[in-house]
Amino acid sequence: MRRCVIIGNAPISDPNRIKKLIKSDDYVICCDGGLRHANALGVTPDLLVGDFDSYTKPETDIETIVLPREKDDTDSFFAAKEGARRGFKDFLLLGIFGGRLDHSMVNVSVMLWLFEKGCHVIAADDYSEMQIVGNEPVSIDSSYPYFSLLALEGVAKGVNITGAKFPLTEGTVTAAYQFATSNEVTPGETAMVSSKEGHLLLIKVLKDI
């Protein structure tokens, strides 16, 4: 099954790095202003969606879904739902973090929504790669200088971190106290993270700022 790549309108300052994450057979959805990134990323969209309040709707033969401006779903949330409706189970989200904080936070919910639908979902921005962590362990290799785990649903229990500078066994991370930040993979090892109850956002930092 092809992977679905969703490209949003958030800034992408290093398109040469981001384009390396894209495969030639990916199914690409551009959300409204996300279309401005297409040329720099070397992609031709398969589908355009949006209310086109941040980018002029192009005259094109590409399949386009025009959304109303007054709606419950953001353009990126609609794109994720449409990708799932079309049967995709593997997602890469680009251009969804940065810029407006409200949209960035909603896009974390997009990741969680896809994860709860049984999809594999990765998001990438200029500084990091992100994914949702649940009961199934997720690995982090030593190419990432730092990684952080953020509780998404109030309380995450049974949190385990191994192969890291700051290990954790059956820990609890809450949304009110996010202490699992800026951890480091032990040199020569692969870190593993998991949560028995509740979901975490894993942020693997690519470079320090």
Q: Give all domains of the chain, ordered by start, each with its CATH number.
A: 4-126 (3.40.50.10240), 132-205 (2.60.120.320)
**Mean pLDDT of the region 77-99:** 96
For residue 192, give both structure tokens: 């593993």
pLDDT digit string, tens, across residues 23-65 = 999 999 999 889 999 999 999 999 999 988 877 788 889 999 9
Residue pLDDT, tens place only, 151-183: 998 899 999 999 999 999 999 999 999 999 999
The alpha carbon of residue 130 and the mean position of all alpha carbons in its chain are separated, in whole angstroms, by: 5
Q: Are 82 and 112 in contact (CB under 8 A)?
A: no
Give the H/E segment covering residue 91: strand 90-94
pLDDT for residue 209: 54
Residues paired with 139 in a beta bridge: 192
Q: What value does the CA radius of gyration of the chain take, rounded to a whole number of Å?
A: 17
Beta-carbon contacts of 4 under 8 Å, excluding residues fewer than 6 positions away, are 26, 27, 29, 83, 86, 88, 90, 91, 92
Confidence of residue 1 (pLDDT cuts 50, 70, 90): confident
User: What does the DSSP 8-state code read for residue 98?
Assistant: S
